[in-house]
Amino acid sequence: MGHEGRDVKMRSLCSSIAIILGFICCISGSVVVSKQLECEHYVLNRCQEKGECNTTKETCEEVDADKQNHCYVVWQQVYDNSTGNTTVTVQMKGCFTQNDACNQTECIDYTYQPKNNMNFCCCKGNFCNREQKWIPTLPKGSESDESDPKREDTTDNALIIGILLGSFLVITPIAVVVVYFLRKRSKKAHFNEVPTIEPEVTSSSPCLALRPITLIEKKARGRFGTVWRGQMKPDEVAVKIFPQQDKQSWQTEQEIFKLPRMRHPNILDFIGAEKHIENASTEFWLITVYHNRGSLCDYLKAYTVTWTELCKIAESMARGLMHLHEEIPATKGEQLKPAIAHRDFKSKNVLLKHDLTACIADFGLALIFQPGKPCGDTHGQVGTRRYMAPEVLEGAINFTRDAFLRIDVYACGLVLWELVSRCSAHGSIVPEYTLPFEAELGPHPTLDEMQDNVVMKKLRPRISNQWRTHPGLNAMCDTMEECWDHDAEARLSSSCVMERVSQHTRYQTTQLLIESNTDPADSV
């Protein structure tokens, strides 16, 4: 009986190999005739917000001949300890394109321990997502092999499976190569976003996913999101949380931070990014180093600065802007770093470290300029109104790299004005902090008011006569005026700003040396 059984299995093996060969031959023929797939469609958010709670039919559109459509389901299972019941809530159903794991005709999730009690399954076949199942399966190797009365039969099966797999692995690469050259096309791939139930973690630190973040205190609210102070043991971190509608800004910031050679002492340090789905609500987290002094704007509201502190802040800020604007050519070991325009440069987006050196943050509106490529589709009139250059307010931007960089320099001149306005070096009373143009146009100027005054009347923030009495502050005032020149092409470059501010710092050092070497008797 044993020999007969083995013969039956070998005949089955030969049949299986024949089927595999036939399957591969069908693939290599590269002619697939299929009709449009139909799936059940449902979105919990639409049910809750718009009352659209019926499950509907979705016909999957063929976006590319090389891609296959599949159906999917995302659902949540919550176990109630008090009642012993499990509540199943479907979050989403529908179509999506291309996933190698979706080759089953039933929608089954085999994940042993789903994160956040969220399950995901996909399948092929019309309305295969009508029902979903969760069959938790231990990962391979998680249980030891105990003695089994069917071990002999298992061994035979393992032998057959091994031969099948070996045949498949030998023949498949050949078929894949054939299919690749038959189907290769000179066009970009089309990607549909695959619904996901787990946080998408893209981190500069591989340990990010293993270090949970606790939100502690809300620090600020901006145009694109809320900034929290958080704890990622053992470090404090800043967590910027973007809502669903501002996903593009979250992606833009990541893209900027991940560019080659972006690490710089005066650019905010990036840690990682996560996508969070909780209670059918999606948030996008950007995690960076936390600086407890906060923004330059907030610091100047609370404190005045000495000449030494002003120089330290101004020079480090200018170095950061220069690095952002600089295009660094590729070398043998390093890729090219493209020039980047910030487009929302202001004192709120300049953070202060513990030693009062500055670093630049918030790249949600930034533009990347790759050599030889146009800047692409973009809106010219973006940023914070009171920091907008005349050409931005007027809607007369020349859409070139240098034009966008000069817009940043204009805003830099206004931030230098803020610094000088709170400096005590001239020895007179330092007035309360005000934003640029706040004294002239109030706390909330309209676009029309900015256009009328900045563009037509060429208004700039007032430079106090007292500032001119201090040689260093006087030089700083000259620099800021060259930054905010009405003629964009006459403005300093960010590298020139850095060099000018550096010279002012050297002036401070020279003065200290003169004062320290002056004999007190000489002044008697």
pLDDT digits (tens, 9 = 90+) for 286-343: 999 999 999 999 999 999 999 999 999 999 999 999 999 999 999 988 899 999 999 9
Q: What is the mean pLDDT of residues 127-141?
A: 82
Residue 220 CB contacts under 8 Å (≥ 6 apart), including other chains: 226, 227, 294, 295
- Give the whole-number percent of the chain exceeding pLDDT 70: 71
The residue type at 363: F
Q: Which of the four CATH numbers 1.20.1070.10, 3.40.50.1370, 2.10.60.10, 3.40.50.720 does domain 38-134 have?
A: 2.10.60.10
Annotated binding-site residue? 240: yes
pLDDT at residue 418 greater than cutoff 70 = yes
Tell me the fold of 293-507: Transferase(Phosphotransferase); domain 1 (1.10.510)
pLDDT at 163: 60
Neighbours of 200 (CB within 10 A): 11
- Burial of 145: CB neighbours in 10 Å, binned 0-12, 13-18, 19+: exposed
The pTM of the full predicted model, rounded to 2 decimals, is 0.60
The continuous run of DSSP H or E covering 339 comes out as strand 339-341
**How do residues 213-253 score in pLDDT, each as one tens digit?**
899 999 988 777 899 999 988 889 999 999 989 998 999 99
pLDDT digit string (tens) for 27-79? 444 434 446 888 998 888 778 777 778 889 888 876 555 567 888 888 888 77
> Residue 498 and residue 493: Cα distance in Å, rounded?
9
Among 14-28, 121-135, 452-466, whose mean pLDDT is lowest? 14-28
Q: What proportion of the chain, given as a percentage, has pLDDT over 90?
A: 47
- Say yes or no to pLDDT of 196 above 50: no
Domain 210-290 architecture: 2-Layer Sandwich (3.30)
Q: What angle do CA 415, 417, 421 make, to 5 degrees?
A: 120
132: CB partners within 8 A, 6+ apart: 73, 75, 90, 107, 108, 109, 119, 121
Is 60 exceeded by the pLDDT of residue 184?
Answer: no
> What six digits make up the tokens of 420?
């000088």
Res 176 pLDDT > 90 = no
Catalytic residue check, 344: yes
Structure tokens at 329: 């050519």
For the record, the structure tokens of 451 come out as 């256009």
Q: Check pLDDT > 90 for residue 372.
A: no
Whether residue 449 is predicted with pLDDT greater than 70 in this model: the reply is: yes
| Residue 160 pLDDT level (bands cut at 50, 70, 90) | low
For the chain, what is the total number of helices (H) and then of strands (E)? 12, 17
For the record, the structure tokens of 235 come out as: 């470090």
CB–CB of 492/412 below 8 Å? no
Residue tagged active-site, from 109, 246, 344, 485: 344
pLDDT given at position 197: 32
Dihedral angle sign, alpha carbons of residues 18, 20, 23, 25: negative
Question: Domain boundaries in the chain?
Answer: 38-134, 210-290, 293-507
By C-alpha distance, which of 271, 263, 274, 275 is closest to 288? 271
CB distance 479 to 504 below 8 Å: yes
Task: Say what the pLDDT of residue 174 is.
Answer: 62
